[in-house]
Amino acid sequence: MPFTKHTLLSIAVTTIVGTRSPIAHAITADQLAKQFEAYKAQQAKELAAIRTENAQLKEENASLKKQFEETQQQVSNNAQAVDTVAENLESGSGKSGWWEKTTIGGYGELHYNNHLTESDPRQRKNEIDFHRFVLFFGHQFTDKLRFFSELEVEHAVVAGDTDGEVELEQAYLEYDFADWVSTKAGLFLMPVGILNETHEPNTFYGVERNQVETKIIPTTWREGGVVASVHFENGISADLALTSGLKLDDGFSIRSGRGGLSKEDASDPIIAARVKYTGIPGLELASTILHQTDMEQSETGIPIGGGTLYEAHVIYSHSIGPGTFSGRALLALWDLEINNPAAHDAENQYGWYIEPSYRIPTTMGDIGVYGRFEQLEYFKNSLKKSNIWSTGVNWWLHKNVVLKGTYFYEDKRDGSANVRGFDLGIGYQF
């Protein structure tokens, strides 16, 4: 019998299934051939479906790849835009708000004074006063050019017969020529003494400012003009100023000679020079010489010529035990040319003080105690002489918020009645 493909297929199937099932012997070769062809058709259909699905996946992958490339390009564009904005802001060509380089600050003091004149108990000072309310405004134009100002309200109310005043205490531009040399021009505080430039209430002991730096220097003394400053890495710095001057009247009071730059007479300027050393940690040494050739600012009227102020001070701080010991000492002397024999006592007005203190940190804030002795002679219609002893405590609730208490005794060496009393105060800076 010749072998055909059907015969071979029949033999193969018979061999595979063997005698395990009687049903297998009943399937003919033609039936198996049909089943095989059906299987091939099914496989071909499934293969076509797989090819179609693969084609769709390739198309989707191509689309995703295109979207990814577009996203990468957008990210790159965004990064370039951000860099451009940053460069514009740095160069000042951007549209950033002025407030981003403008600063606001200030300080204030509330005082309670209880003073008794010994010779007459009826002469008692018993008052409360919001002594000062000050706002700072500053603006940074560039890394080298800036503006600074202080606006002050004294004694809370400016109306009627009150003692209140509104004053522009500072308003000046400052420019850095280099890291070590700068200049400022406008209305600024004179470079003299300890408190004149740094007088915020959290920076000194005592409710009231000391009398030497009130009557002799006098704090806060401001003038209009220009000052050049240099400072070196070894701790030496120097200031040279040319400013408007004082204008004394026949009371020969230094403090009353301040004009405040309100249409002030500019006939005779002040030349001031200061040298300061801070090269040793905790130490400051400084000295100022200031001269004005005509303290009256006029050739008629009061017989007074030139005047020179000599000032020197030292500040020293050192850690001892759990706290810090500090000491301050200052001497200030005016040498005036007065051509009135009845007022020769006004020619030399001076004052000095020494102030040791100790400040210790606690869980409730720093607490500091101090003692101070002052001696001064100044002129205001007549010669005033005083020795003043004071002691007190400062409690810093925060480094910029302080509660204060002071007890003092003033010995009037000019023959007037002695005064004693105490002061309480609160102060802040921000």
Mean per-residue pLDDT for 280-284?
97
Look at 88-102, 194-208, 307-321 and tell me which has the smallest mean pLDDT: 88-102
Q: What is the pLDDT of residue 27?
A: 67
Question: Would you state the pLDDT for residue 43?
Answer: 73
pLDDT band of 122, cuts 50, 70, 90 = confident
pLDDT band at 119 (very low <50, low <70, confident <90, very high): confident
Classify burial at 288, counting beta carbons within 10 Å of its beta carbon; exposed 0-12, middle 13-18, buried 19 or more: buried
């007549």: which residue's tokens?
Answer: 382
What percentage of the chain reaches a pLDDT higher than 70?
84
In this structure, the number of other CB atoms found within 10 A of the CB of residue 209 comes to 19
- Per residue, what are the HEC states of the chain? CCCCHHHHHHHHHHHHHCCCCCCHHHCCHHHHHHHHHHHHHHHHHHHHHHHHHHHHHHHHHHHHHHHHHHHHHHHHHHHHHHHHHHHHHHHCCCCCCHHHHEEEEEEEEEEEEEEEECCCCCCEEEEEEEEEEEEEEEEECCCCEEEEEEEEEECCCCCCCCCCEEEEEEEEEEEEEECCEEEEEEEEECCCCCCCCCCCHHHCCCCCCCCHHHHCCCCCCEEEEEEEEEECCCCEEEEEEEECCCCCCCCCCCHHHCCCCCCCCCCCCEEEEEEEECCCCCEEEEEEEEEECCCCCCCCCCCEEEEEEEEEEEEEEEEECCEEEEEEEEEEEEEEEECCHHHHHHCEEEEEEEEEEEEECCCCCEEEEEEEEEEEEEECCCEEEEEEEEEEEEEEEECCEEEEEEEEEEEECCCCCCEEEEEEEEEEEC
| pLDDT for the residue numbered 340 | 82
335-381, pLDDT tens digit by residue?
999 988 888 899 999 999 999 999 999 999 999 999 999 999 999 99
| Most confident stretch, 47-56, 243-252, 277-286 | 277-286
Average pLDDT estimate for 58-77: 68
DSSP class of 417: P
pLDDT of residue 10: 52
pLDDT surpasses 80 at 1: no
> At residue 12, does pLDDT exceed 60?
no
Per-residue pLDDT tens over the stretch 16-67:
444 444 444 456 777 777 776 777 777 777 777 777 777 776 777 777 676 6
With bands split at pLDDT 50, 70 and 90, how would you rate the model's confidence at 420? very high
For the chain, what percent of residues have pLDDT higher than 90?
A: 67
The C-alpha atoms of residue 162 and residue 260 are separated, in whole angstroms, by 19
Q: Residues 241-260: what's their mean pLDDT?
A: 93
Looking at CATH, the fold of the domain delimited by 98-429 is given as: Porin (2.40.160)
pTM over 0.95: no
Count of alpha carbons within 13 angstroms of residue 275, beta-carbon side: 3
| Residue 265 pLDDT | 87
Confidence of residue 237 (pLDDT cuts 50, 70, 90): very high
Q: What is the mean pLDDT of the chain?
A: 88
pLDDT band at residue 95, thresholds of 50, 70 and 90? low
Band of pLDDT at residue 321, cut at 50, 70 and 90: very high
pLDDT band for position 390 (cuts 50, 70, 90): very high
Whether the predicted pLDDT of 156 surpasses 70: yes
- Domain residue spans of the chain: 5-91, 98-429
How far apart (Å, rounded) are the C-alpha atoms in residues 222 and 217? 11
Contact indicator for 351, 216 with CB cutoff of 8 Å? yes
Coil, strand or helix at 337: strand
